[in-house]
Chain A
């Protein structure tokens, strides 16, 4: 695919860039962790983002500093990203679409007279 791109704020083309030294990688990079935060008692933990930390303790403290600077949480879970197993998007159809025709699982499927409140 060959097209002429137009560049925007925060998107400076590489050919206009300055120096170009090959990047290296070392062993000191801390592992990546996923952060889940309960925003208040009674709610589920929700995925908030990720961060790098050397160990779980540090990950929880970093999560507190990074993701709850504005009182966003009352409880934090962290898990190393490599331990998360995810379903494959290619299987999305077989996993989720069969639920589409089971409308009777939803409360709105049932037509009740208006007098019946709070059900």
Chain B
């Protein structure tokens, strides 16, 4: 009965962790000191959300199986699962490439998280609802920050506009998956397709101000939610999990 809930919680955790990991790559390499600090803040928020979800998933696992045979912790869930077990959507694992792609990825995802967490606040599962409520404050800021940057870059210089077009071209194909419910989402009572129109409205509003075109319907990539990822995830996990894999059963 709780299996879908475990999967769903892991999905939420993986999304936050992988995007947090990606954003953290900017730390020390941002385009200007103030923005280096800003993107790191968002990364910190996301890692914090991931920890909350992983901790809850570990609790759920202990409720359903014997703790002594399957000890689960936030770290075992983040560090010892394989590529095929990760349930994050494809969007969050896409590379940073440049500031435009990082900004657009953040905008697409924060826009989604903002709507999702509002829904999740009302979920029957009080623990998920509590994490969502806490995270919503952070996400509200991420959405505002990334929206403003989309507008700045879209309506900035010819080069920044061009780079945003390129980013849209790269990332749009990963936005469909977000709104196609996996089995565990349906069973958890969260249907993301319901808030897709609101998501699209926000994109239209921001793109309009940014003088950027909203793409026509195109083919959408999917598979991340059920463990079929792009090649990027393997490399992300290789780095992320290296120490725990190299020195098993150690305290850090």
Contacts and interface: CB of A to CB of B under 8 A. Distances in A.
B41 A65 contact: yes
Contacts of A61: 38, 144-145, 148
Contact of A53 (B34, B144, B145): B34
Contacts of B32: 30, 52
B229 to A, nearest CB: 31
B37 interface: yes
Interface in B146-163: 148, 152
Nearest to A55: B152
A61 B152 CA distance: 14
Nearest to B37: A65
Contacts of B38: 61-62, 65
B37 A58 contact: no
A58 B148 contact: yes
Nearest to B156: A54
Nearest to B39: A65
A62 B37 contact: yes
B136 to A, nearest CB: 17
Contacts of A53: 34
Of the candidates B34, B35, B41, B148, the one having the most CB atoms from chain A within 10 angstroms of its own CB is B34
A108 B189 CA distance: 69
Interface in A52-94: 52-54, 57-58, 61-62, 65-66, 69
Interface of B: 32-35, 37-38, 41, 144-145, 148, 152
| Ranked 4 nearest A-B pairs via Cβ | A62-B34, A65-B38, A65-B37, A65-B41
Given A62-B35, A65-B38, A66-B37, 19 more contacts: A30-B32, A52-B33, A52-B34, A53-B34, A54-B152, A57-B148, A58-B34, A61-B38, A61-B144, A61-B145, A61-B148, A62-B34, A62-B37, A62-B38, A65-B34, A65-B37, A65-B41, A66-B34, A69-B41
